[in-house]
Structure 1
Amino acid sequence: MANVNVRNLPDKVHRVIRIQGAHHGRSTEAEIRDILERAAKPEGRVKLGSFLASIAREAGGLTDEEVAIFEHGRIKSPARAAGFE
């Protein structure tokens, strides 16, 4: 895990984060981690697998099982050997 040192954080900001953490039942440090995680991974973001599946769906090239693999990462059948003939 990486460590980050934030310099020159205004006292008022630190105080608000500390109070928010207390309301959520966690330390100031844990509250800051949560804030950073939410900022880095917004809820509305499009995941790569879903994006690729939507492109293929529009082109009409994927089965429902293949779409499920992209969106959920689950493979229901064993891999098949590639044929080059």
Structure 2
Amino acid sequence: MANLLVRGIDEALVKALKERAVTHGRSAEAEHREILAAALRRPRKRTFAAVLAAMPDVGEDSDFERVEGVAKAPDVFG
């Protein structure tokens, strides 16, 4: 395994790291490793079907029907 030395870290960050480590029952070094791993892990790829299935049920199909004959949509961004 490789070693990583990080210099010039603000004392407040070191303190926050140590406090977070205590809450997770780990050493500061183990907490640092976990934070780095979580930040750099690639997101799990989901299929298109899984994304569609995860969408919330927000209404009936009729709620989203196109309205014909409306001259212009209101400008909601002012």
Structure 1 runs not aligned, ≥5 long:
55-85
Aligned residues: 48
The normalised TM-score by structure 2 is: 0.55
CA–CA separation in structure 1 for the residues paired with 2:12 and 2:37 = 22
Following TM superposition, the consecutive aligned residue runs of length 4 or more in structure 1 with deviations greater than 6 angstroms are none
Identity of aligned residues (%): 35
Corresponding letter in the other structure for 2:14: H
Determine which structure has greater relative contact order: mean sequence separation of CA pairs < 8 Å that are 6+ residues apart, divided by chain length. 1
Q: Counterpart of 1:25?
A: 25
Higher Cα radius of gyration: 2
CA–CA separation in structure 2 for the residues paired with 1:45 and 1:18 = 29
CA–CA separation in structure 1 for the residues paired with 2:4 and 2:32 = 11
The normalised TM-score by structure 1 is: 0.50
The alignment status of 1:10 with 2:13, answered yes or no, reads no
